[in-house]
Structure 1
Amino acid sequence: MITFVKNFADIIDWFCFDIISLIMNILYDYQTFLNQRFGGISRYFAELMTRLPEGVSFKNPVMLSSNVYLSQVPGMGKACMSVPHFLKRGKNPFKINRFLSRRILKGGKYDVFHPTYYDPYFLDYVKRPYVITVHDMIHERFPEMYPQQDRTSEFKRMSVMNADRIIAISQWTKKDIMDIYGIQEEKIDVVYHGHSIDASYEEPVSGLPEKYMLYVGHRGAYKNFDKFALAFSNIHSEFPDIELVCTGGGFSHVEMQFLSDLKIDKCTYHYFVTEPQLTYLYNHALCFVFPSLYEGFGLPILEAYACDCPLVLSNTSCFPEVARDGGLYFDPYDVNSIADALRKVVTDSELRNNMVEKGRNILSNYSWDKMAYETVKVYEKLI
């Protein structure tokens, strides 16, 4: 009887969801699609717009954007144009896209507004409830890492404090929002990301070493690459056949000197890769290392799990929440702790196999479809 009642409640929930969805129209804006050609935030919104359930319509008044993901959203490929070369250095794309967003905001023909980043330009024009997604609180936790003229924290505070509801991408981010802004828990919904990587679709990367550890993304400040490099130098001295592969921005002269001082410059490789090539790197790595001091969610965790790549990562911020027991953790402030974890993965094949198996099981809890469904449930609270 209990099972029947539960299942019946689920059916009613889905039915009500569909009824409400038939009259729901969501408005997004241009911000992240003008700021990013690639990137996690624009990927998140593109996946969301693509996966809205039948009956939920959306508007996104973007005329000029070179974002790769937006061009793949049904209905958006023909609606927006790549930013022409002669406009790229000016403010014209920004002005055109903002004009269009303001016009629709003032018209009020939408049910919920979901801005795609933190610029609060819309506050004087929005006629309906709005929800803001907070991806992390890095600017607030590490203000010394950003220039004084960076207004992200100021803009974020204005957008968040005036929002009707807030989406946090992890419980950790939700806690940070509450601690920093003093916002009540009831106003914040946690909606996890999904992942987009297809482990079966890969493109080989030429010149790749036979055994390597993988590092993905930029390396500055809170990413903690320097301490990881120190730990890796210890591992390489013990296991000379293990090398390091990095993606993200190219190494600067200062970074190359640092790697040279550690005597790992000759065994460290950098690649600019496509998404299928990134899949190849994950698929063939000895492990993926994520030494960051702070993340709001950590999409590479799911990418590693999807590719059966053993995961070695920090024990800070959202990592234990998202990765659960599928990764091998270390203290990111302690070089010896990092090196010990790397050493365990290198020397214990059974451990690697167990990590891969756990990662597969954990990955089933995350999907973009689930993210879209739960986001629509947040929208429903506002209409």
Structure 2
Amino acid sequence: MRIGINTRSLLGQKMEGFGNYTLELVTRITKAQPEHTFILYFDRPIDPQFQFGSNVICKSVFPPTRHPFLYIIWFQWRLKKALKKDQLDVFWTPDGMFPLGISTPILATIHDLNFAHFPKDLPKWVAWYYNRYFPYFSKTAHKIITVSQTTKEDIVSTYHIPQEKIKVIYNGVSDLYRPLSKEEKQNVHLKHKLAKPYFLFVGSLHPRKNLHRLLQAFERFAQKNTDTDLVIVGASMWNNQAFKIKPELDHRIHFMGHLKTQSLAEIMASAEAFIYIPYFEGFGMPLAEAMASETPILAGNQSCLPEIAADAAHYADPFDVEDIATGMQKIKNDVALQSQLIKAGQQRVKDFNWDHAAKLLWQELQQLVS
């Protein structure tokens, strides 16, 4: 069998959500199925680390997709031509986008529809492209994978897609995320020059991640609590956002930018609590990573977060700054709550496994060919 995969999100040293998702699953299915040929399509020079095995062919298709107009050229012209030439049995696209009008069976992963509900959170032309093309992607894909029941229901209601066309496959968690000993945590603080205990946020600095309300809530919390800092890990998604921080808090809020997974896992496991209050999300990978790290979670009560975190998080209204600040106070001071959340997280995280996700993905690919 010849399986094509859109791997344009594999970017070497600086991968975010789609890239990590693609890497975890492609690594597993190419290794588990050595008798099948996998053709990976990149949109820039190929990093040697993505040559996963002798059954993997890597192809670079020009041009790099750095603008919505280039998305159209790449998917609907250049990639379409490459797929027809390569005579694939099936094509999987981890970011939901693919050439329209080809006969190859298509399996599309659609992570969420944030652009349909909050288009103003995206650059104008990006929002235009997503809202112009995703209705077609949803209708013409032969099967859709999504990462939460919440997103499945959203796709069904927004695009009127039959429920049986959509399969929910939860994401997994890297083995790098684990609890640390007291001594290991002390070393992490020294390594990253973090003098105080800290709350942690992880995610791209995208408007829907709700960073401005998180910072406002921390300002209120910090008025009564001088012994806890805030660490923010993540790169800007579209453009550099300017966050207004009071001068007296400047030394207590640490923007660390993008971190490699090993460093991020250390930072996660050493945090006093993980604070995650986006108002829209498809899965919320950092939730599962916090559970695996045995770090208590304060989460927003909107979108898929209650589905994914279940009883492993304390919840706050992401639109209510005072409620978020109160949640910070409670998760810091309530030792019984911390213990309860950690214990619940130890159980819930068992539902998030990349090996299991890869097996389910492979089953879907096989069914499209048979």
TM norm structure 1: 0.81
**Which runs of structure 2 are paired with 1:81-230 in the superposition (5 Å)?**
101-107=79-85, 109-120=87-98, 122-124=99-101, 126-150=102-126, 151-199=129-177, 204=188, 205-230=191-216
Partner secondary structure for residue 309 of structure 1: coil
Give the Cα–Cα distance (whole angstroms) in 2 for the partners of residues 56 and 310 of structure 1. Answer: 43
Shift of 1:115: 2.3
Aligned to 1:8: none
Aligned to 1:243: 229
Contact 1:33 1:65 in 2 (8 A): no
Identical counterparts, % of pairs = 26
Partner secondary structure for residue 26 of structure 1: strand
1:62 equivalent in alignment to 2:41: yes
Give the Cα–Cα distance (whole angstroms) in 1 for the partners of residues 335 and 249 of structure 2. Answer: 25
One of 217, 235, 256 as aligned partner of 1:271: 256
Give the Cα–Cα distance (whole angstroms) in 2 for the partners of residues 289 and 78 of structure 1. Answer: 41
Contact 2:97 2:134 in 1 (8 A): yes
| Cα shift readout 1:31-83 (whole Å, capped 9, x = no counterpart) | 333699412112212222221233662422436646879627345998468x9
| Cα shift readout 1:215-244 (whole Å, capped 9, x = no counterpart) | 112333211111111211121111111111
| Gaps in structure 2 of 5+ consecutive residues | none
Partner secondary structure for residue 193 of structure 2: coil
| Cα shift readout 1:229-282 (whole Å, capped 9, x = no counterpart) | 121112111111111111113796831xx1127x42221112132211111111
Give the partner amino acid of 1:71.
F
Give the Cα–Cα distance (whole angstroms) in 1 for the partners of residues 40 and 281 of structure 2. Answer: 30
Contact 1:245 1:270 in 2 (8 A): yes
Give the partner amino acid of 1:376.
W
C-alpha spacing 1:284/1:178, structure 2 compared with 1 (3 Å): same
C-alpha spacing 1:291/1:141, structure 2 compared with 1 (3 Å): same
Aligned to 1:28: 5
Aligned to 2:52: 73
C-alpha spacing 1:228/1:166, structure 2 compared with 1 (3 Å): same
Aligned to 1:323: 309
Give the Cα–Cα distance (whole angstroms) in 1 for the partners of residues 215 and 13 of structure 2. Answer: 28
Aligned residues: 353
| Gaps in structure 1 of 5+ consecutive residues | 1-23
Contact 1:231 1:336 in 2 (8 A): yes
1:380 equivalent in alignment to 2:370: no
C-alpha spacing 1:35/1:50, structure 2 compared with 1 (3 Å): closer
Contact 1:295 1:318 in 2 (8 A): yes
TM norm structure 2: 0.84
Contact 2:40 2:57 in 1 (8 A): no
Give the Cα–Cα distance (whole angstroms) in 2 for the partners of residues 327 and 153 of structure 1. Answer: 33
Aligned to 1:369: 355
1:311 equivalent in alignment to 2:328: no
Give the partner amino acid of 2:242.
V
Give the Cα–Cα distance (whole angstroms) in 2 for the partners of residues 58 and 234 of structure 1. Answer: 56
RMSD: 3.5
Larger radius of gyration between Structure 1 and Structure 2: 1
Aligned to 1:17: none
Partner secondary structure for residue 317 of structure 1: coil
Give the partner amino acid of 1:334.
D
C-alpha spacing 1:214/1:314, structure 2 compared with 1 (3 Å): same
1:46 equivalent in alignment to 2:23: yes
Partner secondary structure for residue 215 of structure 1: strand
Answer with 144-153 or 354-363: which moved more: 144-153
Give the Cα–Cα distance (whole angstroms) in 2 for the partners of residues 326 and 89 of structure 1. Answer: 38
Give the Cα–Cα distance (whole angstroms) in 1 for the partners of residues 55 and 223 of structure 2. Answer: 52
Give the Cα–Cα distance (whole angstroms) in 2 for the partners of residues 321 and 103 of structure 1. Answer: 40
Contact 1:197 1:279 in 2 (8 A): no
